[in-house]
Amino acid sequence: MSFGYQTLGFGGYPTRRAILMAATGGTVTTTGDFKLHTFTSSGTFEITSGSGDVLILAVAGGGAGSGSNDNNGGGGGAGGYLEGTLSLSAATYAVTVGAGGAKGNQNNVGASGANSVVGTINATAIGGGFGSNGSFSTDAADGGSGGGGSGYPQDNAGGDGTQGNSGGLTGYGNDGGSLGSYVADGGGGASEAGNTDANGHGGDGREWSGNSTTYAGGGGGGYLGTGGTGGGGNGYQNINSAGNGDNGTANLGGGGGGSYQANGGANLGGNGGSGVVIFKYQYQ
């Protein structure tokens, strides 16, 4: 069995079935006739009896935003987003929840996020790519969604997305005014690319039907960039002083925000947000 992405997945959502299921693992919540097992850290999902359709969400850790020695760093890409429905019976499934990437300072880029994995069914959500540092000739990383490029002084490209979207690819984000060259690009999100509004905005995430929560938003670029919906951290937005990008939201897989440096000082990108794995099935 293979685990697909969104409409390329396994078909429809869980239907009401005569063979009911029982399972253990994660944090268990109930909504109507369905149970959700939410993993915010690694563990084991075990179906102890019955069989049926299981709706599964896997989101990887988001990539970190980067700092810069001279002006700006790109936002981190969101963690990869996978969802689909599989017919499962009694078995044990190892769950790995990916950590968010560690922030980058003025002297280096941040780190990409870690993968989230559901064993046995070959489901791997790829960690988000880190954002580029404007001080070095280093492009942003590819990932589940790609990290955002930087615009000044080094015009570095954004990364490509494999299970989401690319980070801003142009460098030189544009705020529509005289400070355009100072705006770094946003990281990609699950539903759109970074920097689509030319203001360093992180790409928006995707709402999961299983709990109506939005996941996997990209981080905003340093100076003016806002994080995408679904946990993307904002870029640092004060041109008059050095500061840090916001962290991506934990367990949403959001990318960290990039940072902007003015008048010296140490500035850091934001950490990427950790991922999540959720199983939903009918229990009564």
**Per-residue model confidence as pLDDT tens digits over 126-170:** 999 999 987 777 889 999 999 998 876 777 889 999 999 999 876
Contacts of 43 (CB under 8 A, 6+ apart): 25, 26, 95
* pLDDT (mean) for 54-64: 98
Q: Is the pLDDT of residue 76 over 90?
A: yes
Structure tokens at 108: 């280096």
DSSP state of 248: P
* pLDDT (mean) for 183-209: 90
pTM assigned to the model: 0.90
At 70 the pLDDT is 64
Mean pLDDT (the chain, rounded): 86
Structure tokens at 150: 């930087």
At 177 the pLDDT is 40
The Cα–Cα gap between 203 and 104 comes to: 20
At 7 the pLDDT is 34
At 181 the pLDDT is 56
Structure tokens at 207: 């709402």
* Residue of 63 and 196 predicted with greater confidence: 63
At 266 the pLDDT is 64
Q: Is the pLDDT of residue 171 over 80?
A: no
Q: Which of 38-42, 152-156, 241-245 has the lowest mean pLDDT?
A: 152-156
At 61 the pLDDT is 98
At 204 the pLDDT is 97
- Long-range CB contacts for residues 203-206, cutoff 8 Å, separation at least 24: 203/78, 203/145, 203/164, 203/165, 203/167, 203/228, 203/232, 204/228, 204/229, 204/230, 204/232, 205/78, 205/81, 205/229, 205/230, 205/231, 205/232, 205/252, 205/253, 205/254, 206/6, 206/81, 206/230
CB 82 within 8 A of CB 175: no
CA atoms within 13 A on the CB side of 255: 65
Contacts of 8 (CB under 8 A, 6+ apart): none
Q: Is the pLDDT of residue 226 over 80?
A: yes
At 262 the pLDDT is 63
Longest dimension (CA), the chain: 67
CB 82 within 8 A of CB 163: yes
Provide the terminal-to-terminal Cα distance of the chain, rounded to the nearest Å: 26
At 182 the pLDDT is 65
pLDDT tens for residues 173-187? 444 444 455 678 899
CB 231 within 8 A of CB 253: yes
Q: Is the pLDDT of residue 125 over 60?
A: yes
> How much of the chain, in percent, has pLDDT values that exceed 70?
82
DSSP state of 72: B
At 176 the pLDDT is 40
Q: How far is CA 153 from the centre of its chain?
A: 27
> How much of the chain, in percent, has pLDDT values that exceed 90?
62
- Amino acid letter for position 252: L
- Count CB neighbours of 23 within 10 A: 23
Q: Which of 8-17, 177-186, 218-227 has the lowest mean pLDDT?
A: 8-17
Q: Is the pLDDT of residue 107 over 90?
A: no
